[in-house]
Amino acid sequence: MNAFTRHLANIARLGVKELWSLWRDPMMLVLIVYLFTVAVYSSARAIPETLHMAAIAVVDEDHSPLSQRIIGDFYPPLFTRPAVITRDEMDAGMDTGAYTFVLNIPPDFQRDVLAGRAPAVQLNVDATRMSQAFSGSGYIQQIVLGEVQDFTRRYRASTTLPVDLNARMRFNPSLTQAWFGGAMQYVNYITLVSILLTGAALIREREHGTIEHLLVMPVTPTEIMLGKVWAMGLVVLVAAGLSLGVMLRGVLGMPIEGSASLFLAGVALHLFATTSMGIFLATVARTMPQFGLLVMLTILPMQMLSGGSTPFESMPLFVQRVMQVAPTTHFVELAQAILYRGAGIDVVYKPFLILALIGSALFALSLSRFRKTISQMA
């Protein structure tokens, strides 16, 4: 057996050892399954940006055709069927949280509108429900003003403009927010799990004393590190592939426009960088609590400023330049291009190359730090 074959055999055996260690850690396995299933679904369905089934009630003190037309304009899926209540029930309904919006139409509302006066309509909003309060109040104002305008004209009509603007929604024609929220959190969990697995594997060996056993074996620090990288990376890659097909495409019904194989190739390249980062953080931390704090300080800025939550172009120029060295920025770019827009390798080759460079740099830095840590322990 030549030297190269022996190195490959050692890396393979060390990786299998990592897989067996992970298999004996049920809490970590449960975490992986949870993040790529329940957490992805929850991220897609929770806190929608668009208005959906907002609870509304109307205090109709006018009982006129105009007030009835306004009430009839509130219907699913933006609002629930409006509950017609009295003024005495309004405060109690708001206090108990039964209604997010309560619209109070005053007496003689239609008569004042026809007389050219400007009657006041009161809109009560439960501002604790921030996800619906802001957008919902805007919808209600448009509905009320639109009905009043149509009623005073005696007919429904649209003003003819000199320019005809046709809006066409590409890549997400139905504007389904769950597709974006679920996919971006899925991308974030790939980064998070890969860093946690590799870092926890190294710290676990240090706490259990098995790292000293490796030092007396005929293996090099490079082989030890490569064994951890390929084993933990393979686990995350398999979990990501299953979640892509089962959760995103199956449960959430998200159409995958591009090649799933190309995307998973990008995932593998990204995992090369993030698993190396996980080992580097594990060499800095001495215990699992310290490692957890380091992960929080690292992963939160990387995910928030990667372009997954807000458009990358809307960030300050300084932040954009700094985030060019983070692997998450380029991973989000290729993920959005492939999953949403069906981009091919001719479009995403640049983030692929940058990820390869960043991964190589992180691997070299982590290997240097890992060798120093091993020498100190020896």
pLDDT digits (tens, 9 = 90+) for 140-196: 999 999 888 888 876 555 556 677 777 787 887 777 778 888 899 999 999 999 999
SS3 101: strand
- Buried b vs exposed e over 141-169: b needs ≥16 C-beta within 10 Å? eebbeebbeebeeeeeeeeeeeeeeeeee
Strand order in the sheet with 56-60: 83-85, 56-60, 101-105, 122-125
User: In this predicted structure, what is the pLDDT of residue 159?
Assistant: 58
Q: Give the Cα separation of 348 and 325 in Å (integer).
A: 17
User: In this predicted structure, what is the pLDDT of residue 158?
Assistant: 55
User: In this predicted structure, what is the pLDDT of residue 221?
Assistant: 83
CB atoms within 10 A of CB 275: 28
DSSP 104: E
Q: What are phi and psi of 128, to 5 degrees?
A: -70, -20
Residues 95-105: pLDDT tens digits? 888 999 999 99
- Asked whether residue 377 carries a pLDDT value surpassing 70, the answer given is no
- Asked whether residue 376 carries a pLDDT value surpassing 90, the answer given is no
- Asked whether residue 47 carries a pLDDT value surpassing 60, the answer given is no
Q: Give the Cα separation of 43 and 270 in Å (integer).
A: 22
pLDDT band at 241 (very low <50, low <70, confident <90, very high): very high
The superfamily CATH assigns to domain 56-153 is: abc type-2 transporter like domain (3.40.1710.10)
Domain ranges of the chain: 3-47+175-377, 56-153
Select the more confidently predicted residue: 131 or 152: 152
pTM higher than 0.85: no
User: In this predicted structure, what is the pLDDT of residue 7?
Assistant: 85
pLDDT band at 375 (very low <50, low <70, confident <90, very high): low
- Asked whether residue 10 carries a pLDDT value surpassing 60, the answer given is yes
Provide CB contacts within 8 A for 93, sequence distance 6+.
Answer: 57, 83, 85, 99, 102
User: In this predicted structure, what is the pLDDT of residue 161?
Assistant: 60
User: In this predicted structure, what is the pLDDT of residue 134?
Assistant: 82
